[in-house]
Structure 1
């Protein structure tokens, strides 16, 4: 078998042309397509990676916002609870204060009412005692009633100094009279008896007139031109009534 170099050369040239054609029109385009495909895939992968990063960042942002919202919600709830507790405490304290004030006012009012009632009772008791005393005294004979008083008056006049007696008698001239006011009218015999004893006690001849005033309850008053001597229960009762009124005002 012989080798046809011409044929071999033609085939070699054909093969080289084929390789060149394949490289030019097939391999390089395919490589370019592969590279383009690879680049596109890389771009897609990069885009996907970027999307994943964005998605992760968004998840983190959302998670952070959720955490902030939850923290704000808890803080709002805590603040609202604290405010509600503070308000409740304030309301309770205010209610306690108002209740204390009401109790104090009620206690003060009750005490005032009790004191007013006690004062009214004391006034009523004084009025009732005065009325009872007046009725009991009216049942006694005038002579018995007046004897004790004239003795008391004589003792008082005897204890006066000369200057005090002179002061009482000042202005007692022929036109002035000593006026004896009794709780009940004096019979003429009793009046004359009193004139004699008063003139003796005072050491002067005096004109003595008599009058009566039921408000004295018992006893008499000696009305001199410059002074009045009280020997009646009215003055004592008025002093007691004044004590009652003063006690009522100071309570």
Structure 2
């Protein structure tokens, strides 16, 4: 078998021409189409990625808004609950304060009524005591009552430090007889100390009892004083004190 170099050369030339033609008219256009297709695919992928990114951003924005709304809702609920609690506490405080004021006012009113009733009872008791004392005075012998007052004044004067007096003025509710005056001077003289002169006066407002007016003091015990102390005690909570002054 022999090789025809001319034929082989022609075939080689045909192959080269064919390759050039394929390179020129087929391969380059195909590559261009493929490049355009790849570019289009890349653009579509980029657009899809951008759309996906926008979708993710939108979804994140919606989620953030949902979280913000939930947080705002919780804050509003907490604020409303706090305001309701504050309002309830304020109303409760007002009710308690008003109740306390009403209770205190009622307590004061009851206390005032008790005081008024007690004062009225004391006044009534003082009036009854005064009426009773006057009835007893009307039935008591004058001499015995006078001696009782004089003895009490003498005992009280004996406990005092008295300076000598030029005059002792004796005041009684009724005029004393000479024997009664002498008995009074005899009983009070030692207790009063030195007295230059005794003078006797009458003051019916004393009702009963004796007052001794010295130079610098007055000693006495009268029914008018007892009644005055009794009436004064009726206006207070302190009991009356019976003593010569």
TM > 0.5 fold call? yes
- Secondary structure of residue in 1 paired with 2:60: helix
**TM-score in terms of structure 1 length:** 0.66
Q: Any residues of structure 2 matched to 1:53-72 within 5 Å, and which?
A: 53-72=53-72
User: What corresponds to 2:227 in structure 1?
Assistant: 237
Q: 1:146 aligns with which of 127, 142, 156?
A: 142
User: Structure 1 CA distance, aligned partners of 2:155 and 2:230?
Assistant: 26
Look up the match of 2:99. 99
> Shift in Å at residue 53 of structure 1?
2.3
8 Å Cα contact 2:171/2:212 also seen in 1: yes
Unpaired segments of 5 or more residues in structure 1? 1-9
Matching residue of 1:197: 183
CA RMSD of aligned residues (A): 4.1
Counterpart-to-counterpart distance in 2, 1:162 and 1:45: 134
> Cα offset for 1:150?
1.8
Q: What SS is found at the alignment partner of 1:171?
A: strand
- For 1:3, the equivalent position in structure 2 comes to none
Residue in 2 that maps onto 1:136: 135
Tell me, in whole angstroms, the C-alpha distance in 2 between the residues paired with 1:53 and 1:179.
127
Q: Would the aligned equivalents of 1:199 and 1:205 in 2 still touch at CA under 8 Å?
A: no
Q: Distance in 2 between matches of 1:35 and 1:21?
A: 20
Look up the match of 2:242: none
1:178 touches 1:207 (CA, 8 Å); kept in 2? Answer: yes
| C-alpha distance in 1 between matches for 2:70 and 2:60 | 15
Q: Aligned equivalents of 1:170 and 1:51: distance in 2?
A: 131
Report deviation, 1:15: 10
Report the CA distance shift for 1:161/1:73 in structure 2 as closer, same or farther (over 3 A).
closer
What runs of 5+ residues in structure 2 fail to find an aligned partner? 1-9, 190-194, 239-245
Match of 1:171 among 166, 174, 196: 166
Distance 2:61 2:112 in 1: 73
